[in-house]
Amino acid sequence: QAKYDANYILTSLGFAQRLFERQGRLSGVEIKLKEGINADNAKQELQALLGERFKVQDRYEQQNDIFRVMRIEKLISHVFLSFILLVACFNIIGSLSMLMIDKRQDIRTLRSLGATDKQISTIFRLEGHIISLAGALLGLLLGGILCWAQQEFGLVSMGGSEGLYIVDAYPVSVYLTDILLVLVTVLLVSWLAIWYPVNYLSKKILKT
């Protein structure tokens, strides 16, 4: 990338020491940890061992600007997707409203059989929750498949000339926290969408 090409070079340690007249001295040491080792714990142990004369930084601290931008982009993406989800929830509102209006005769039958208004409202509420949960799980499944396909086959390339980027395709990672965040957001927004038709329309329909 242009930022690194303009600021960094790869050369031998001996040549760099001669170039900067720092024979026998180092300005930094990079340590690669084995898989499974906690980076935060290793950082604290190294800092305690080396003392205050030396600074120990992980890769997130070394490239703080890049990771901060990535976190902001991720937050903005989540906000925009939440707004899109709000628009999509109007489909749930419309579907439940039409269902309740269409099932007036069935509602009368249930009341004749002894069902209470609360039980009838619960039926429609559960149906809305089932629709939203099924949609959330299906969306997560399709999203997981697309992420796997991107990791394995690189469906979306980085573009540009060959060798411009370290990787040829957009890197994708799936985290459990992101999955849970999406699931909770979908269920919360859909719950709000279900609340209106069930609580507002049921009062009018059940009175007739």
Does one domain contain both 97 and 137?
yes
Does one domain contain both 53 and 144?
no
Does one domain contain both 91 and 193?
yes
Instruction: Please state the φ and ψ torsions of residue 96, each to the nearest 5 degrees.
Output: -65, -40
Does one domain contain both 47 and 107?
no
Q: Which residue range is the domain that position 70 belongs to?
A: 63-207
Name the residue with tokens 């329309």. 201
Q: How many domains does the chain have?
A: 2
Does one domain contain both 199 and 180?
yes
Give residue 154's pLDDT.
85
Burial 26-53 (b: 16+ CB within 10 A, else e): eeeeeeeeeeeeeeeeebeeeeeeeeee
Q: What's the whole-model pTM score?
A: 0.68
Give residue 82's pLDDT.
83
pLDDT digits (tens, 9 = 90+) for 51-62: 988 999 988 888
The whole-number mean pLDDT for each consecutive block of 10 residues of the chain, a chain of 208 residues, reads: 74 88 85 88 91 88 85 88 83 82 85 85 87 90 93 81 68 89 88 81 67
Does one domain contain both 49 and 4?
yes
Does one domain contain both 31 and 110?
no
Residue type at position 177: T
Does one domain contain both 51 and 147?
no
Does one domain contain both 72 and 84?
yes
Give residue 3's pLDDT.
66
